[in-house]
Structure 1
Amino acid sequence: MAAPCDLGGRGVLVTRPAAQADGLCRLIEAAHGRPIRLPTIEIAPVADPGEAAALLAQSWDMLYFVSPNAVEQALALVPDGAWPGVETVAAVGRATAQALTDAGRAPELVPEQRFDSETLLAMPELADMRGRRVLIVRGEGGRALFADTLRARGAEVLFAEVYRRLRPAFDPAPLLSRWTDDVVMVTVTSDEIMLNLMEMLGPAGRAPLLATPLVVVAERTAEKARGLGFARVEVAERAEDAAIVRALCALCPAAAD
């Protein structure tokens, strides 16, 4: 795939968990940018997986996986990725769908445009959920929108919380000392990642961070970023690596000339 622009050596802060950053970093490098890795979330199994494992072993009308992490951690508890007792498997986006496919069950429901719960909820297959049992596979303390909406449509909804999100320990001083020279743009792919980044950079990092152009993957995150004081925010058209790089290109039009 041809790079959408030439980032001209610009430094891009990549804040995804370490195990999920490689694809985006490769695309930034292909566009002649410099990825700067700063994982702001660590993924860990839940302390007591017994309840989630019991739920995953049951039969369901629908399983909804909110992330590739949800797929990976669920498979650690119930290795049969074909999910034989499940009528419909749903995925929030393409990366999650690919993880499910690789495990043995391609999902029946995946949004085609923006990859989020709102887009999935708009699909006609989920319009009438009366009498259906749904299990949402997620991390601890995820969003309630999907569950609340399906319950309002008549479904019984439970959660299998299979992982925890932890904020890594980090000394911001070395990065902040070279921020102006090195960090030209920042990418975040969730509200939690953005808030963790602010905490990890500390009070001294707030002003330089807010002054740095930011790429997000959801309008709700953009609204929160603007409320926090970010000077410039670009929303990627999809929560995909290629779309994030296109948004980076939009932040520096000269790179596309």
Structure 2
Amino acid sequence: MPESFPSGRALNGVCVLVTRPRDQAENLARLIEQEGGEAVRFPVIEIAEPEDDRALPAIIDRLDEFTTAIFVSPNAVDRAMDLIRARRGAWPPGLRVACLGRGSARALKNFGIENAIVPRDRFDSEALLELPELRQVAGNRIVIFRGAGGRELLGDTLTERGAQIEYAECYRRLRPRADVTSLVRRGERGEIHIVSVTSVDGLRNLFHMLGPAGQPWLLRTPLVTVSRRIAEVCRELGFKTKARIAAPASDESILDAIKTWRAAQKSL
């Protein structure tokens, strides 16, 4: 039978690798630590300014031309909305807003936008495209706020439905330079019990950052993620166990998935 733990100690003795970007990791790390676990912070994505610092302001200056604005991530919200406030003072009235997930919706609320269109269950481009608000878009002008080099599915599908699409690149995702020696040693000793990854780019970065020395233990280690797409990439990379998917995509759901995994283990 799985072990049982008192409230607040469900992760006692569990070491979780937290791979969120540095400025987004603390909430999840704190939740893990409140349950008695150890959160090893190892950012696998660095958020940087876009290479072209003129393109985003140019789009923001003509936001009134668009019917709908879509934000693909909290980073896109924060970076775009800060600039919108600086250049325009307020969000254009009548401009409809959509986003991929609850994290982005919460970020939008911080800027006073509370009526965003957001999927209820899955939080990805496919789920957003299934919503009725984005099915009949012929003739609409839609701006997609995203990171450089993001997925094309959203824009391509909306174009096929007759919308005119423009991309507003708010940031770049970089692979950090980091000394992985200590992490690889801990992984080899079995001291990293489960890994949390919240994006495909982050998963691939982690895999490449660890290199041949760290990849064998990584592929043996349980992993919790937030989408089926990331889980599919886990299979492609050769993970030995099926990735657990936290739904909805939130820190609290990731914590619950880790606790559920721990409750099923006889020992670490």
AA at the equivalent of 2:160? A
Tell me whether 1:10 sits opposite 2:18 in the alignment. no
Aligned partners of 1:63 and 1:86 also within 8 Å? no
Correspondence for 1:173 among 163, 181, 192: 181
**Aligned match of 2:148:** 140
* Structure 1 residue 41, shift from structure 2 partner: 0.6
* Structure 1 residue 7, shift from structure 2 partner: 1.5
Correspondence for 2:223 among 207, 214, 221: 214
TM-score between the two structures when normalised by the length of structure 2: 0.89
SS state of the match for residue 237, structure 1?
Answer: coil
Q: Could you tell me how far apart the structure 1 residues matched to 2:171 and 2:94 are?
A: 21
Q: Could you tell me how far apart the structure 2 residues matched to 1:239 and 1:193 are?
A: 15
**Aligned match of 2:78:** 72
Aligned partners of 1:172 and 1:202 also within 8 Å? no
Q: Could you tell me how far apart the structure 1 residues matched to 2:252 and 2:91 are?
A: 30
After TM superposition, the structure 1 stretch with the greater mean CA deviation from structure 2, 226-235 or 173-182, is 173-182
**Aligned match of 1:152:** 160
Taking structure 1 as reference, are residues 3 and 82 closer, same or farther at Cα in structure 2, changes over 3 Å only?
Answer: farther
**Aligned match of 1:63:** 69
**Aligned match of 2:137:** 129
- Deviating beyond 3 angstroms after TM superposition, the runs of 4 or more aligned structure 1 residues are 2-5
* Structure 1 residue 181, shift from structure 2 partner: 4.1
Unaligned runs of 5+ in 2: 1-5
Taking structure 1 as reference, are residues 100 and 49 closer, same or farther at Cα in structure 2, changes over 3 Å only?
Answer: same
* Structure 1 residue 9, shift from structure 2 partner: 1.9
**Aligned match of 1:248:** 258
TM-score between the two structures when normalised by the length of structure 1: 0.93
* Structure 1 residue 91, shift from structure 2 partner: 1.6
Q: Could you tell me how far apart the structure 2 residues matched to 1:155 and 1:4 are?
A: 49
SS state of the match for residue 254, structure 2?
Answer: helix
Tell me whether 1:117 sits opposite 2:125 in the alignment. yes
After TM superposition, the structure 1 stretch with the greater mean CA deviation from structure 2, 245-254 or 209-218, is 245-254
Q: How far does the alpha carbon of each residue in 1:183-215 deviate from its partner, in whole angstroms, 9 at most, with x for none?
A: 100010011100100111111001010000011
* Structure 1 residue 30, shift from structure 2 partner: 2.1
Q: Could you tell me how far apart the structure 1 residues matched to 2:252 and 2:9 are?
A: 11
Q: How far does the alpha carbon of each residue in 1:94-132 deviate from its partner, in whole angstroms, 9 at most, with x for none?
A: 221121111122243011112222111111111110110
**Aligned match of 2:3:** none
Q: Could you tell me how far apart the structure 1 residues matched to 2:108 and 2:89 are?
A: 7
Between the two proteins, what is the percent identity of the paired residues? Answer: 45
Q: Alignment RMSD, CA only? A: 1.9
SS state of the match for residue 178, structure 1?
Answer: helix
AA at the equivalent of 1:50? R
Correspondence for 2:51 among 30, 43, 47: 47
Aligned partners of 1:97 and 1:110 also within 8 Å? yes
SS state of the match for residue 78, structure 1?
Answer: helix
Tell me whether 1:22 sits opposite 2:36 in the alignment. no
Q: Could you tell me how far apart the structure 1 residues matched to 2:235 and 2:49 are?
A: 33
SS state of the match for residue 183, structure 1?
Answer: coil
Aligned partners of 1:4 and 1:246 also within 8 Å? no
Q: Could you tell me how far apart the structure 1 residues matched to 2:8 and 2:130 are?
A: 30
Correspondence for 1:83 among 91, 104, 108: 91
After TM superposition, the structure 1 stretch with the greater mean CA deviation from structure 2, 138-147 or 95-104, is 95-104
Taking structure 1 as reference, are residues 196 and 3 closer, same or farther at Cα in structure 2, changes over 3 Å only?
Answer: farther
Q: How far does the alpha carbon of each residue in 1:201-249 deviate from its partner, in whole angstroms, 9 at most, with x for none?
A: 1110010100000111111111110121111111112211111112112
